[in-house]
Amino acid sequence: MQIQFSSSAPKDIRLVAQLISEGNIPSDLEPTISDGATAARFKGRVGQVFEGFVVRNEHLTRVALAGSGKVDAANRDANLEKAGAALAAKFLRSGETAMVVDFSGADLSAEQAAKVLLGLKLRSWRHDEYRTTLAEDKKATLESTTVINAPDGTQAAWADQAAIAKGVEFTRSLVAEPANIVYPVSFVERCQKAFEGTGAELTVLDEDQMAKLGMDALLGVGQGSRQPSRLLAIRWNGGEEGEKPTVFVGKGVTFDTGGISLKPGAGMEDMKWDMGGAGAVAGAMLALVGRKAKANIVGVVGLAENMPDGNAQRPGDLVTSMSGQTIEVINTDAEGRLVLCDALHWAQEEFEPARIVDFATLTGAIIISLGTEYGGLFANDDALADDILAAGKSSGDSMWRMPIGPAYDKLIDSPIADIKNVGPRGGGSITAAQFLKRFIKKGTAWAHCDIAGMVWTDKPGATWDKGATGFGVRLIDQFVADTLEK
C-alpha cells in the first residue's frame, strides 16, 4: 500500500473515505450518503464503515464513512488506528485500486491523522506471494491511498509512522515465510539487504567464529540441522557519543521440531514462527533506523534450526555456554533458552549495555498463563519493567509482569552441571526466565519478554489479518521513544 499526499483528489478517483467521530455525521454530505448512513444505523463508532454511491464530478463515486469513536476517548489514538484499519479491511479486495482519504472536518492533529494512516497501512499487509490460483475476488486490489485536506504537519508525522509500519511489515514477512525460505543464513541475508545504506552497522558470526568464542549452547541447538547457525548484531549509534547502548536480543529458531525430544506432528508446521523474537528485534531495528532514532541501540539475534538427525543434541547431553556455565540438556525442545543464553552473554561482553531486553517465543506455558492477550514480562529491575509495561500499553503490544526470584532457582539446579535447561511442569515460563537470568551479569538491568502467544494468530485483529502480527516492533520503538529519546 502506497500512501501519498496531495492538495486535491485525482480527477478519476472512484473511492473517497472520510473519518467520522461518534455522533457527528457531517451535514454537508449528499442526502444519499447521510440518509443512508442513518438508515444503516451508522453512528461513527470505532470500526464501523458505511459505504454509498453518489455522482461527483460526473463520475460515480464510492463514498466511505469510517467511524473513529468518541472525540474525548482515552484511547483515541488506538481508535483512530482502528478506523484506518477498518477501511483497509473493507476495501483491500474491493476491486478498487486507489482510494482518497479526506481529512476535512475530522478535527484531528497531525499526529492523530498519521495514526489513521498507520492503521490503514498495517491492515493492508498480506502475504500472498506463493498463492498462484487465488480467485480474482480474493486478491488484494487496493494499491494506493492519496491523502487530502490533512492537518498541517501530517506528512512529517507520517514519515515516522511509515518507518514503524515498514519495520512491522518486515517482521511479519520474516515470521510468515516457511522454513525452507527463511533459515539462519537467509534471515541474515534479508537483514543485510534491508539495512543496506541506512547507516546501521551489521556484524555476522558464523559457526567457526561462535565455536572459538565457546558458544556451545547455541551451536548445540543447530547441530542436527543442515542449515548452519548464525549470530547477527545490528548497531545504530543515534545517541550521545560514548553513551552505553540499550541492547535487544531475539530468539531466532527458524524452525523447531523439538529435536530428539520431537514435538507432536499436529501443528508442527506453525513452528516456522519460532523465530518471532528475532523477527521482532530485526523489524524494530529497521523502524528505529528508518526514523533516525536519537539513541544508541543494538539488536542481536541468535539463529538456529532445531532438527533431529544422527548428529543432533540428545537429552542428557552436557554443553558449556560462552559464559562458562555448564548446562545439562534435559529436553532438546527447550532450545530457545540455549540460543538466548549465549546471545545474551555475547551481547553483554561485546557492547557493555546499559540495559538488555530479550524477546522470544520461549514457552507454551506463557500461553496457558496469559492466553493471546498479553506477552509475559520478567525482569530483575522494577524501573525497566515499568517502562516496558508503559510502552506496551501505549503501543498496543501489551505485556503482563510475571514473577521470578531465588525460590525458582532450585527447580533448575542440575545434579551434574551448573544448571539444567528445564524444570518441572509447573511454572514453565518462570523457570525458563529464571534460566536466562543466570546469564545476566550482576548490575545489568534485564527484562525477558515471552511473546509465544502474540507473534501469530488464527483470527484477524484490528490492524492485522490472520497470520503474522508483527508483535514487539511497536513495543520496542515506543520504549526507545519514551525512555531514550527524551
Q: Is the pLDDT confidence value at 119 over 90?
A: yes
Paired residues of 252 in beta bridges: 303
Q: Is the pLDDT confidence value at 194 over 80?
A: yes
Question: Residue range 5-24: average pLDDT?
Answer: 95
What letter would DSSP give residue 412?
G
Confidence of residue 38 (pLDDT cuts 50, 70, 90): very high
Whole-number average pLDDT of the chain:
97
pLDDT digits (tens, 9 = 90+) for 157-168: 999 999 999 999
pLDDT, residue 104, reads: 95
Q: Is the pLDDT confidence value at 203 over 80?
A: yes
Quick one: angle between helices 276-290 and 473-483, nearest 10? Answer: 50
Catalytic residue among 43, 190, 263, 441: 263
Backbone angles phi and psi of 60, in degrees to 5: -70, 120
pLDDT, residue 406, reads: 95
Is 263 known to be catalytic? yes
For the segment(s) 162-483, the CATH number from 3.90.190.20, 3.40.50.2300, 3.40.630.10, 1.10.10.10 is: 3.40.630.10
Question: Residue range 253-262: average pLDDT?
Answer: 98
pLDDT digits (tens, 9 = 90+) for 168-191: 999 999 999 999 999 999 999 999
CATH class of residue range 2-150: alpha beta
pLDDT, residue 57, reads: 83
**Burial per residue of 36-47, b for 16 or more beta-carbon CB atoms within 10 angstroms, e otherwise:** bbeeeebbbbbb
Would 2-150 and 162-483 be classified into the same CATH topology? Answer: no
Question: Residue range 422-429: average pLDDT?
Answer: 97
Coil vs helix vs strand at 5? strand
Catalytic residue among 235, 337, 420, 474: 337
Confidence of residue 27 (pLDDT cuts 50, 70, 90): confident
The Cα–Cα gap between 393 and 4 comes to 29
What's the pTM value of the predicted model, to 2 decimals? 0.98
Confidence of residue 296 (pLDDT cuts 50, 70, 90): very high
8 Å CB contact between 242 and 263: no
Is 337 known to be catalytic? yes
pLDDT digits (tens, 9 = 90+) for 360-404: 999 999 999 999 999 999 999 999 999 999 999 999 999 999 999
- What is the percentage of the chain residues whose pLDDT exceeds 70? 100
pLDDT, residue 31, reads: 95
More confident residue, 58 or 190: 190
pLDDT, residue 212, reads: 98
pLDDT, residue 58, reads: 85
Instruction: Name, in order, each residue with C-beta under 8 angstroms of 390's C-beta and a sequence gap of 6 or more.
Output: 482
Q: Is the pLDDT confidence value at 486 over 80?
A: no
Q: Is the pLDDT confidence value at 445 over 80?
A: yes
The Cα–Cα gap between 331 and 333 comes to 5
Bridging pattern class, strands 144-148 and 2-5: parallel
Domain ranges of the chain: 2-150, 162-483
The Cα–Cα gap between 326 and 420 comes to 8
